[in-house]
Chains A and B, each alone.
Chain A
């Protein structure tokens, strides 16, 4: 009877809910979830990456009936999960190098095929290659593009926290403009990370014409799980980029991990969408629009934008960037964008923002 009555009220945006049919709850609500990344790992308090990795891989394990091989690039995730001789992983996991996770993933997929053929098994394990934004957008970018080009059967997950957090918060090509990092100090007329730099890797991945590209955040596990499940339904190269706040590197309180990720979506700062074969097919709409200031003010890496000495022009530029995202991706309209959006860096370089 409970299934028949529509459910609009209490906690419909929560992870689970006792009133919901189990099939309508997030995987993370399940008492039987895999916990692929188990307790005792050495991530900082409130680590978004640990959260994102567990969300993604738990679902991948379920949908493939536990037939998953993971190849991990160097980075925080690799370091905090496997300090010698401990491992927090509860699935087959291999560490490659900083830059070659995509290439090793390709190799793993080939090996899995060969092994299945040799043993006569009709079960071929699926491969996930994963890394942080440094290992993906900078160092591992060549192998990644090569994997896309060959359309190897690998899902690549990029845990995007916008800098090299493991080595001490250095700028990467995923660092947003105006953010302070160890290498983008608050100097000059435009303090923090420069404008008009960086790469929009999801758009680049789409330009390869691969079957599936998506962005997600740790603030919406249902959405993330749906995307992992969808990605695993395709063969060929797939790319998912998950925004994983880093309390240490972003300078936000450890309890705000999920909140700050939610604000990144609700301000339009981080467009969340999915694309199939190079075309955007769905967009996660903003539910309660917020000014970008609300997102910035809880992070110390943006403290120079909201204090008394702040330059209001920079804040306005960031707001314009969010507005551009909202417009381009249709974050507040009923439609899905007809054309592929232009990378936000273009607007910055044209000085339109």
Chain B
């Protein structure tokens, strides 16, 4: 007890004795929300997280996070239709983040620096057979290998990649990139057997003593439509044309070619033929609004001078050319014949009106359920109606894109992994959506005028140029840093700075922040000023 001055009875104390947390009626909590890009990505990539590392300049870490979900960043950075960008919240401010171009940069960076996948730490000794070395099959193989299983892939073609090799034209995906990314998979111990066509899946499974099988045979049969054909006209199917171009680099087809269909395959065929000197005309029975093809690809086609005959069907093909019937959309948007005809000169017709799954192989599997032209699978673990047989990619219902196939391959692999452990894989529930309304845009809009055109230019070269260029490092890091980090922390220190009670504790780089509930009075300034909407105020329990 120290000697106190007159009228003083208490020892001095710090205000830290006074736990103001007891005043609180609302409590700040960190919430982790699902950013729209991640939500949209069919491959389930953690886009926000890899942009986070890319923005720091840690490209290897960014690539590692990216490849936790998708083993083909360099390919996807070229061929993915990047629907994620369509959902990006930055679009409400200025322009969406060029996610796809950063992905490509990371993929190319990894190839340039010979980054390899890590081999599994331990081998489980389980054997899995994968039928088909397309995006779904290879994605499944990659994820299974990461779990430590022994994976063997069989493929009927001469080389791997499936539609990435035999469907997507070279101008969109150079084959050396594809080869390099497939080699990275075989380097981690995946074996691929080419020119091996599986006729009896169950027999192969038994002979090879496989514990599980994933089917990824795709949808490789072009749909046919009955066109009355004359003698001299070629009627070809789109996959044959694309396959021949991919294999031989050329095709004998004539000069004026009608490409029949309005999907991505039709556009790929038309743009490929254009590059071979032909004059393709796309014939499509509906209009541009109803066209399923990717908009950017279609813009590219039109810029390249490819003509389109909208609202038209081919009713007859003869040696003099084609007979086209004009269509009109009814009130439901369905095309209806009008009875008006016109002639169109054409040396050949390429049918690009959809693809079917080769059901012959599947019919031999006893008890395998199919629906329409696809295989019925469990919505969680992708298992078919036959125990131990899983399926992914174009052969199951869903979007028929490379990205979707990669995502399905991942889920099938997880399904198999759980199956091999005797459990069932259930997909995790997603976090609530990160909405733009919950964010604080004041803290973002700051791209000066001089910089904006630079981004736009970079994005244009990436998107429209036929000879595609990647982003420079400076542009890539710039683009990555445009990410708003919707719904998740980007370590901007706002909560730490604006707390009037010093009740936010900064834990250091990469570790984020913590609330000190002893002193937090629950004023809510941190939640209000968080740019990302990462803090919610929840009522305190009494």
Contacts and interface: CB of A to CB of B under 8 A. Distances in A.
A239 to B, nearest CB: 24
A14 B497 CA distance: 9
Interface string B518-534: 11011111011101000
A9 B478 contact: yes
Contact of A10 (B482, B506, B509): B482
Given A16-B496, A16-B497, A85-B13, A8 B18 contact: no
Contacts of A81: 15
A26 B519 CA distance: 23
Given A85-B13, A86-B14, A18 B57 contact: no
A26 B492 CA distance: 11
A314 interface: no
Nearest to A17: B492
Nearest to A255: B524
Given A5-B474, A18-B490, A256-B528, A11 B12 contact: no
A110 to B, nearest CB: 24
A50 B523 CA distance: 13
Interface string B437-448: 000001111111
A241 interface: no
Nearest to A256: B528
Nearest to A50: B500
A26 B528 CA distance: 19
Q: How large is the interface on A (under 10, 10 to 19, 20 to 34, 35 or more residues)?
A: 35 or more
B56 A45 contact: no
Given A17-B491, A259-B528, A39 B503 contact: yes
A315 interface: no
Contacts of B502: 35, 37-39, 54
Contacts of A14: 443, 492-494, 531
Interface string A283-318: 000001000000000000000000000000000000
A51 B529 CA distance: 14
Contacts of B508: 31
Contacts of A25: 493
A257 B497 CA distance: 13
B225 interface: no
B484 interface: yes
A46 interface: yes
Nearest to A41: B15
A160 B57 CA distance: 43
A95 interface: no
A264 to B, nearest CB: 14
A262 interface: yes
Contacts of A48: 500
Contacts of B19: 40
Contacts of A31: 506, 508
Contact of A7 (B18, B442, B481): B481
A340 interface: no
A43 interface: yes
B47 interface: no
B477 interface: yes
Nearest to B502: A39
Given A17-B492, A87-B15, A50 B501 contact: yes
Q: How large is the interface on B (under 10, 10 to 19, 20 to 34, 35 or more residues)?
A: 35 or more
Contact of A12 (B446, B491, B509): B446
A47 B522 CA distance: 12
Given A18-B491, A25-B493, A45-B521, A88 B15 contact: yes
B20 interface: yes
A353 interface: no
Contacts of A259: 528-529
B268 to A, nearest CB: 34
Given A19-B55, A28-B496, A87-B14, A262 B484 contact: no
B2 interface: no
A254 B18 contact: no
A160 B508 CA distance: 34
Given A2-B57, A40-B18, A46 B524 contact: yes
B448 A88 contact: no
Interface string B450-480: 0100000000000000000000001001100
Contact of A38 (B12, B16, B56, B523): B16
A262 B442 contact: yes
B484 A10 contact: yes
A6 B451 contact: yes
A189 interface: no
A13 B56 contact: no
Contacts of B506: 29, 31
Given A15-B493, A28-B496, A85-B13, A39 B20 contact: yes
A196 B508 CA distance: 51
Contacts of B510: 18
A16 B497 CA distance: 8
B483 interface: yes
A199 interface: no
Contacts of A37: 502
B303 interface: no
B496 A29 contact: yes
B492 A254 contact: no
Contacts of B340: none
Nearest to B505: A31
Contacts of B529: 258-259
B17 interface: yes
Given A7-B481, A9-B481, A262-B442, A51 B498 contact: yes
Contacts of A247: 523
Contacts of A44: 521
B490 A17 contact: yes
Given A88-B15, A259-B528, A45 B444 contact: no
Interface string B1-18: 000000010111111111
A45 B523 contact: yes
A253 interface: yes
B514 to A, nearest CB: 12
A216 B276 CA distance: 66
Interface in A39-68: 39-48, 50-51, 54
Contacts of B483: 9-10
A15 B526 CA distance: 12
B490 A11 contact: yes
A191 interface: no
B369 interface: no
B265 interface: no
Interface in B167-189: none
Given A10-B483, A257-B525, A43 B531 contact: no
Interface in B101-149: none
Contacts of A256: 525, 528
A10 B528 contact: no
Among B447, B448, B510, B528, max chain A CB count under 10 A is at B528
Contacts of A19: 55-56, 481
Contacts of A46: 500, 521, 523-525
B52 to A, nearest CB: 9
Nearest to B477: A5
A133 to B, nearest CB: 18
Nearest to A89: B15
A87 B12 contact: yes
Given A6-B478, A8-B451, 12 more contacts: A10-B484, A10-B485, A11-B492, A13-B446, A16-B491, A17-B491, A37-B502, A39-B501, A40-B15, A86-B12, A247-B523, A255-B537
22 contacts: A1-B57, A8-B448, A9-B447, A10-B55, A11-B485, A11-B494, A14-B493, A18-B490, A19-B56, A25-B493, A28-B497, A35-B502, A39-B15, A39-B501, A39-B516, A40-B501, A46-B523, A50-B500, A247-B523, A254-B524, A255-B523, A258-B525
Name the 5 nearest CB pairs between A and B, nearest first.
Answer: A16-B493, A255-B524, A15-B497, A46-B523, A40-B15
Interface of B: 8, 10-20, 23, 55-57, 442-448, 451, 474, 477-478, 481-485, 490-494, 496-498, 500-503, 506, 508-510, 516, 518-519, 521-525, 527-529, 531, 537
